[in-house]
Structure 1
């Protein structure tokens, strides 16, 4: 361990983290040193994400440099013309992000790889856009998205424009391990520029993304945008400039940005947790909307790849839409403003089933993937055909992509599409709530909730227990079909089986006789079990939305209580 620490100190290029580590040694803080050196921050399909600090189990300049070398070598080994095609690099507004991005650029150019580096902070979707724009071999975004201030991250996109999936994650990880044992090259950005390996991405590049979105056929609905108003917050992130610009381009003249949260600030001083899903995170934008009587209170998360919205109700209050509700509204809107038979939409196994029901009714293509946008976009590319092109995908955790300008979730285009939908509804005397109710009346009221159960470390796999003794009923409802994604098989109550065309994952999905659904999967990062619940209530013409909601909530409470007790 001491040898490891000494080696690390000798390799670390950052005087701040060297001093931090030296202080831990001087204080003989064995527990903290053990935590930082007992393992290495794991590189996976989400890249890297962790607390900033000294040591291999933290985010720091040395870890970034080793990661960049590993990525670069993997690209050179596996991608034709990787060096000339290059890598796009951007970063968010956290304190270390610019330095980490520049370190990444230095290492990649030291390997002879062209780099396109943003000259300023950039939203994640703007960087991901660069992969196809430049026909690059990959892209890197230095961001911890909506994680707390202590964190940072390193997200990788492949040459198809989507986040990496296996086997690229493990291949890059192997190269990172090798790089951690080697002397790293020294290469300044000035050297890279002199050799013609570094291109700075300035306003022209951001304008290219802006033009691409403005030219998207899915963001071309300009129905009286000036007649509605909305409030917006970037949540101390990097989305404000582009969000406000795109809304102005689309004709929205009454946009009120929360000044205190507009500029990038990685300390996130006005929110406890910079995630729009967290209680209180939307308070300031809702107050801004209320002050101006705006219809919508909209937010991007700090790297602007997610979108959240609260909508004014009849009584003048504001109510948050769930991620599923936004996804269903956008999916329905986009499908009904196109030729649905020629479109493909998708969502994940834990998101609402309602989008599938809408797509089926409209004879559109539909697909379903494991959780994570990396699957939604990679699978979309495989599934789309000349006759049926990809249109839209979403996951319940506030991620949406509209069209294929960006092959990842994009909170900026989602913001514009949602505003355009709202403006068109308003022009016809309707509200977002009216549209949601009409969808429920046609297809049923879908309610989705999630619960987590803490497990003792090292506990026996709940999934394996359930496979050994599969339930025949849950909360008094018969199990009509079970999907076991670990074994890749779908089992029906009558004994029939079918293969499932999804990557293996420790997930069990139970479909019950009243259209309810229960999804059980262990967390990949913590000792806990995640359970996702869905109940469906039919709506008659005589039903009020309030009474249907009440019935659904009662059914959901019963399902959750009884299922959790059975576990």
Structure 2
């Protein structure tokens, strides 16, 4: 423990933040060895998702020292004089972290530019790819994580998040950084005051001309509101009604237990307002507006659509409004297999990637034109004949596309639910669900994965396992990843650790041909998913 105390004292001496200095001084004075080990016994690892973690003092927390080290490591991997765009959300510390990043980059001889105010992540990602002299982008955000967290995403010149081996190169450069109080800091950076470049592009998406639709919208206490409202106005849509309690950015997210539109209860205020307003649609962004959730009215009340349902609907909508044999649509190995059927139906190519938009954007070949990509976790990148607008998740572009799709259906006297039934009849019902197990000890996840690798079940949900793939060795031309895939007759299970949370995530899918009543097929599929979930939970042995 004396080594940790020495490490902490050295950290304390270079920390420019009075808040984290006071936190660490109190821990040292109290002799709180447990708190010290938690902060200094390990460190946040820089990977393809950048950095993400709880705010606080020490290398295992997000703080100004961690951020300045990350910026210095990134600077060492960039060409001298390169232009770098820096954005930030409205979380605790985000603005300060963005300014520290700019100071370090400037001191290293780069040309940083910082947005003056919080911006959605897709605004930053789009800007990064829009100029030939931009060599990288940085977005300070923890997306939909709890209020106590923050994070640091790195984009390369193509506007996509980094992938190996670039992450390892930056991580090694971070390890070589010395004391941050000895880093040369600059003050010469440009400040951006608006998101006009992104707004010009997103409002010009050519995905149908219908606009008669009433929408209730929530930015979930995040930074999406102003850009989304401006985009809807420019595109000719009626202004969505914003949930007032969640309209303004608030880093404490006071009205939700967890600021993720996938979480139970997160949409309650929006659904209540939609009922009062008799709206056609509810749209929600997560706090940095890179994800988009959708809910629709049913005879039994409002229902949130799954990411796979929205992904299938948007894929078909984009393909109806684009042309060309070179079109490509992409999803991930944990998302529904429906996308491949839709692509075949439209005579275009589809591909599967590893989980995450950094991989979606790398799928396909030189002759492919990516017009749509999605992952089941409410992430979508929409495009038109010019290709996708953003090389990452774009919750605002997706919101516009969903509104156009719903307005088109409304003109024909139909709803998004009707369109889902159409797809079930045409391609078969692809029903998906998840099982997520959150743990306090990450070794439990490693243990569960090891047990399943050593002794994979022969049957799940009453179906025989026809093929078992250990994705850690690389399968179907994909890079290696920590995951397992079970293929069953008419069903599939994929299991992997979460990349951003202490969770083990299981993705379940069953496929039923539909020859008659879609509702009856949905009931059968729900029962099959329940059976799969029960057996997978037993196989994990974590609860």
TM superposition score category, shorter chain reference: over 0.9
Q: CA deviation at 1:183?
A: 5.0
**Structure 1 residues 114, 249: closer, same or farther in 2, change over 3 A?**
same
Contact 2:232 2:239 (8 Å CA) reproduced: no
Contact 2:105 2:186 (8 Å CA) reproduced: no
CA offsets 1:286-330 (integer angstroms, 9 cap, x no match): 122222111111110000000001111245x21100111110110
Q: Distance in 2 between matches of 1:365 and 1:438?
A: 21
Gaps (5+ residues) in structure 2?
none
Partner of 2:215: 230
Q: CA deviation at 1:458?
A: 4.6
**Structure 1 residues 85, 134: closer, same or farther in 2, change over 3 A?**
farther
Q: Distance in 1 between matches of 2:471 and 2:320?
A: 32
Q: Distance in 1 between matches of 2:155 and 2:140?
A: 12
Deviates more, 1:154-163 or 1:26-35: 26-35
Please state whether the residue corresponding to 2:361 is helix, strand or coil: helix
Q: CA deviation at 1:262?
A: 1.3
Deviates more, 1:284-293 or 1:300-309: 284-293
Partner of 1:367: 351
Please state whether the residue corresponding to 1:83 is helix, strand or coil: coil
What number of residue pairs does the alignment pair up? 530
Q: Distance in 2 between matches of 1:303 and 1:258?
A: 17
**Structure 1 residues 457, 309: closer, same or farther in 2, change over 3 A?**
closer
Residue 556 (1) aligns with residue 532 (2): no
Q: Distance in 1 between matches of 2:119 and 2:463?
A: 49
Partner of 1:273: 258
The match for 1:213 among 202, 214, 217 is 202
Q: Distance in 1 between matches of 2:240 and 2:86?
A: 30
Q: CA deviation at 1:473?
A: 4.0
**Structure 1 residues 458, 305: closer, same or farther in 2, change over 3 A?**
closer
Q: Distance in 2 between matches of 1:411 and 1:458?
A: 34
**Structure 1 residues 566, 128: closer, same or farther in 2, change over 3 A?**
closer
Q: Distance in 2 between matches of 1:68 and 1:17?
A: 19
Q: TM-score, normalised by structure 1?
A: 0.89
Q: How does 1:319-330 map to 2 (within 5 A)?
A: 319-330=303-314
Contact 2:127 2:197 (8 Å CA) reproduced: no
Partner of 1:451: 435
Q: Distance in 1 between matches of 2:67 and 2:266?
A: 30
Contact 1:228 1:254 (8 Å CA) reproduced: no
CA offsets 1:380-434 (integer angstroms, 9 cap, x no match): xxx1444x41110111111000122210000000000000000011111111111
Q: CA deviation at 1:86?
A: 1.2
Q: CA deviation at 1:551?
A: 0.8
**Structure 1 residues 546, 152: closer, same or farther in 2, change over 3 A?**
same
Partner of 1:493: none
Gaps (5+ residues) in structure 1?
76-81, 193-197, 490-499
The match for 2:232 among 242, 247, 260 is 247
Root mean square deviation, CA, Å: 2.0
Contact 1:69 1:107 (8 Å CA) reproduced: yes
Please state whether the residue corresponding to 1:390 is helix, strand or coil: strand
Q: Distance in 1 between matches of 2:451 and 2:275?
A: 51
Q: TM-score, normalised by structure 2?
A: 0.93
Q: Distance in 2 between matches of 1:510 and 1:55?
A: 40
Q: CA deviation at 1:527?
A: 7.2
Partner of 2:382: 402
Q: Distance in 2 between matches of 1:163 and 1:327?
A: 21
Partner of 1:485: 471
Partner of 1:200: 191
CA offsets 1:343-398 (integer angstroms, 9 cap, x no match): 1001111111111111122221100011111111122xxx1444x41110111111
CA offsets 1:122-172 (integer angstroms, 9 cap, x no match): 100001111122231110001111111111111100112100111111111
The match for 2:167 among 166, 169, 175 is 169
Q: Distance in 2 between matches of 1:563 and 1:25?
A: 45
Please state whether the residue corresponding to 1:137 is helix, strand or coil: strand
Residue 32 (1) aligns with residue 18 (2): no
